[in-house]
Chains A and B, each alone.
Chain A
Amino acid sequence: MRRFLFSVLAFCFACAGPRAQYSAFTLRFLNDIESLPSRDGAPLLDDSIRDKYLVRDYGEGDVVHAFLRLTSEPDPEKLDRLGVSLQSRTGDLATAVIPVRSLRNLGKVRGIAHIEISAPVHKRTGEASL
């Protein structure tokens, strides 16, 4: 019986697959878009969400830019299927352009340990200017 339970647990883990850690900012984004209506699997985003999370549309639907930390080489076919396009790579760090609809599933791709969508940065003139 115990062996059976272990097998079931092992099976469940195998099915669930690996899971990347998401940054707090990414978790908030995923949470914000979860309840939105969608079309063809892609959430319909309003301007406030686009601005806050720097969502871009380069002509093929909404995407976000993100950092990835990799523990091994992710399967390129899986990335292709998700529409994820790796941009730069240095050691275990990479950047990617990720369709918004694929962000959650990207976390299940083996080899991706951490996903952090791009947070806004500000120019440092501000109050010092006139």
Chain B
Amino acid sequence: MKKYLILLLLLTGVLGQDVFGAEFSAATRRLHARLSDGLQKGLPAGSILTQRERERFLVRRMDDVLSVRALIRIEASSFSDAELEAIGVRLDRRCGDIASVTIPLSALTDLDAIPSILRVDIDTPVRKRLDRAGSDVRVDRVHDGTSWPFPRRGDGVIIGVIDDGFDYTHPVFRDQDGALRILSAWDQRSRSGPHPAGFSYGSEWKTADALLNQSHDSPDGDEYGTHGTHVASIACGRAADTGSRYQGMAPDAGLVLVSLGGGAASIFDAIEYIHAVADREGKPAVINMSLGSHTGPHDGTSILDRYFDRKAGPGKILVGSAGNEGNADLHLSHVFSGDTIGTAPGLYRENGTESGLIEIWGAPDIPVSVAAGLFDEATGQMVYQGGFTSSEIDRAFQSTYRLPSSGDEFRIDGGAVRRDSYNTRPNIQIEITNATEYTAVIAVTASEGTAHLWNTSEEPFSDLDFPGLFRQGDNLYSVGEVGGTAKRVISVGAYVTRIEYESIDGWTYRVGEEADLHKLATFSSRGPTVDGRVKPDIAAPGQVLIAAASSQSQGVLEEEIAEKLQNRWPLAAYGGTSMAAPVVTGIVALMLEADPSLGPSDILSVLKRTARRDAWTGVIPSGGSTLWGAGKIDALESVRDAVTSVADGPAILPDGFRLDQNAPNPFNPGTRITFFLPAASDIRLSLVDVTGREIGTLAEGRYESGTHTIHLRSAHLASGIYFYRLKSGSFRQTRKMMVIR
């Protein structure tokens, strides 16, 4: 009886292991069983699986061999790489007893013959979402094609990111075949590689090998950042095949990265660089700038804003973050009539000394003057008051005061411009350095007109609880320069879609209250601009988002990390309008995929038409709100609208291709569609209905250079609007036509 029981137990054990030497995950077992059957019948591995099975098991062609990726657990003491190589399995990475491998389909059945392999888990599809932001803006439905017959994922569009802290190796920046989607990168700080053509600084990396060899951009001082990785990942990070649950907005878009090495002028160069790459590739580009400052007139006339307005155009879209100063009270304005106002600017304190820079812009052609002094909050008395300096001096100025009692220094460094050549307004910058025990205060006066002050230290202006003497700042006009004030830059505010997340340290971190959900983030900067335009243009999820972080950065804390891919590449939770801007950037990429010729005014019109208004946005005026812009972005409606309201203007890329308006139009019973090819090309001319569904092919194949005309009969078409779309290489153009009965 005992012998019988032992035999039964042994048998059960063998059956329980399904005859596998190693433990196989359920998906691995299914694939193994499927392949075993076919291979036993002598079929080639590539012909055994259906297309659906290939998708289910994430089968990819790698080095021309159909393969799957897997994580394996090994017996480290007896494992040898050579055993894998012998059956054609590639060891990608190894960390202790866990390794990632690429397994040719034909080799999967051989794995269980290697005794040192303890477990095999092939990659399986994971639910892709960018945090809760993805479903909130309904971009997941654009990716999936749910309610929308054409899945759109940013294919054929370039996303440029001007930032720093890029990790070129992060798996989210690869495509479904494992190839790097970063087309090129310009590290403006680096001195180790060639400059990009036309520039005399920084290093350009143009190949996957060069980028992966660099692995990341150069540090800012001693510090490797992560901001750029997070921003780029939100815009176009890819979750599939990486093991991550968090996907970006346009996961098939190409990337061009510029690590900013300087200030505003370097942004100008960065845009030129990205546009040059986009032109070379013949693709439209949307550029993300999660950057800003409060140095400037905030009226769209700064030199950089003027540049932006020139560079934004068809297929060239710029997106910026509105700013995080919505609750900073860093702005102050006053309508002067010869009076004087005082305020105490918050200053940055370090080693017992406070410092900060105040930016003052007067009314056009009306001089403005400023004085600085020291105030004793205990007695309510001024301790020292400097004289006024007028913008009329049109030069730099400086003054130093030492307290008689201690010798402590109070120093003013300023620059005055009588009349800015672009907006005719006077400008004074005053930098305060205060090592005394008293509070630095300033006074501003003008004969008339409105003057605006910004504390560029992003600290509040305070009345020090002496409202009769001093003025409190406000949060109006807190949209920043760079991302917030240009006319043709899409400026993005932030709202809350997540208030907690689980970290890999096992704790759940709460970053807000239940009541905060769906509301505008308190930090999201407010408009309008000084010239009265509504900004931001749109709001997007920005508090908080989980996306890739740099594996190189020491600044990524464990409690911020929500996932770690292959035990190396983190995904972390951060918030800010920096995170909201790339949500919009990615959605714009989806719109450009639909119509590469869309310009900034087209995009803004679509965003305004399709923005969501809800209980949290409240009623938004027709001209927009200085908190929300047009409302909350809706990816699904934006892309649908971008397709169905295509402009009838010419496509821009590349030169020479042309799709003419059909004639007659509207038509019944027939119409002519004419297109021009500059060279012999493979083309596809398709017919699309108003939902975006392709309902027919009008022409397909290789056509000679020159003009071609296709005749379309309306017999099988119901009355209504249709589109016809010409694709040839990177050229795409869509036109609208109407059938009448």
Interface residues of A (CB under 8 A from B): 21-28, 30-32, 54, 56, 58-59, 65-67, 69, 85, 87-88, 90-91, 93, 95-97, 113-114, 116-130
Is B574's CB under 8 angstroms from A31's CB? no
Closest chain-A Cβ to B584's Cβ sits at a distance in Å of: 13
Q: In the complex, which of the residues A54, A85, A113 contacts B263, with contact meaning CB atoms closer than 8 Å?
A: A54
* Cα of A31 to Cα of B429 in the assembled complex, Å: 13
* Cα of A91 to Cα of B307 in the assembled complex, Å: 9
9-residue interface stretch from B138-146, B206-214, B410-418, B702-710: B410-418
Closest chain-A Cβ to B646's Cβ sits at a distance in Å of: 28
* Cα of A114 to Cα of B560 in the assembled complex, Å: 45
Closest chain-A Cβ to B222's Cβ sits at a distance in Å of: 13
Given contacts A21-B417, A122-B291, A128-B574, contact A65 B263 (CB under 8 A): yes
Q: Is B395 an interface residue (CB 8 A)?
A: yes
9-residue interface stretch from B193-201, B633-641, B666-674, B689-697: B193-201
Is A69's CB under 8 angstroms from B303's CB? yes
Q: Is B470 an interface residue (CB 8 A)?
A: no
Given contacts A118-B263, A121-B260, A130-B509, contact A87 B269 (CB under 8 A): yes
Q: List 10 A-B contacts (CB under 8 A).
A: A23-B415, A25-B429, A30-B396, A93-B307, A118-B262, A119-B263, A119-B293, A121-B264, A121-B481, A124-B324
Q: In the complex, which of the residues B260, B397, B458, B574 contacts A125, with contact meaning CB atoms closer than 8 Å?
A: B574
A130 nearest CB neighbor, chain B only: B560
Is B421's CB under 8 angstroms from A120's CB? no
With a CB–CB cut-off of 8 A, which chain A residues contact B443? none
Main secondary structure of the interface of B (DSSP, over half): mixed
Given contacts A56-B201, A87-B198, A121-B293, contact A130 B544 (CB under 8 A): yes
With a CB–CB cut-off of 8 A, which chain A residues contact B578? 123-125, 128
With a CB–CB cut-off of 8 A, which chain A residues contact B397? 31
Q: Which size bracket describes the interface of B in this complex?
A: 35 or more
Is A124's CB under 8 angstroms from B581's CB? yes
A35 nearest CB neighbor, chain B only: B398
Is B307's CB under 8 angstroms from A90's CB? yes
With a CB–CB cut-off of 8 A, which chain B residues contact A119? 263-264, 293, 295-296
Closest chain-A Cβ to B160's Cβ sits at a distance in Å of: 14
Is A95's CB under 8 angstroms from B268's CB? yes
Q: In the complex, which of the residues B163, B303, B458 contacts A116, with contact meaning CB atoms closer than 8 Å?
A: B303
B501 nearest CB neighbor, chain A only: A130
* Cα of A44 to Cα of B589 in the assembled complex, Å: 47
List B270-307 residues whose CB lies under 8 Å from chain A: 272, 290-293, 295-296, 303-304, 306-307
Is A56's CB under 8 angstroms from B415's CB? no
Beyond A27-B396, A93-B307, 16 additional contacts (C-beta under 8 Å) are: A24-B428, A65-B263, A85-B200, A87-B269, A88-B268, A90-B311, A97-B201, A121-B260, A124-B290, A124-B323, A125-B290, A125-B579, A126-B523, A128-B523, A128-B544, A128-B575
Interface residues of B (CB under 8 A from A): 163, 191, 198-201, 227, 230, 260-269, 272, 290-293, 295-296, 303-304, 306-307, 310-311, 321, 323-324, 395-398, 413-417, 421, 427-429, 431, 458, 480-483, 494, 509, 511, 521, 523, 542-544, 557, 559-560, 573-579, 581
Is B559's CB under 8 angstroms from A130's CB? yes
With a CB–CB cut-off of 8 A, which chain B residues contact A24? 414-417, 427-429
A27 nearest CB neighbor, chain B only: B415
Closest chain-A Cβ to B571's Cβ sits at a distance in Å of: 14
With a CB–CB cut-off of 8 A, which chain B residues contact A120? 263, 293, 295
Q: In the complex, which of the residues B272, B292, B575, B579 contacts A121, with contact meaning CB atoms closer than 8 Å?
A: B292
With a CB–CB cut-off of 8 A, which chain A residues contact B230? 125
Among all A-B residue pairs, the 7 with the closest Cβ atoms: A31-B396, A24-B415, A118-B263, A27-B415, A128-B576, A124-B578, A128-B575
A126 nearest CB neighbor, chain B only: B324
Q: In the complex, which of the residues A54, A114, A125 contacts B421, with contact meaning CB atoms closer than 8 Å?
A: A114
* Cα of A54 to Cα of B321 in the assembled complex, Å: 22
A91 nearest CB neighbor, chain B only: B310
* Cα of A31 to Cα of B137 in the assembled complex, Å: 50
Is B293's CB under 8 angstroms from A124's CB? no
Given contacts A93-B306, A93-B307, contact A121 B263 (CB under 8 A): yes
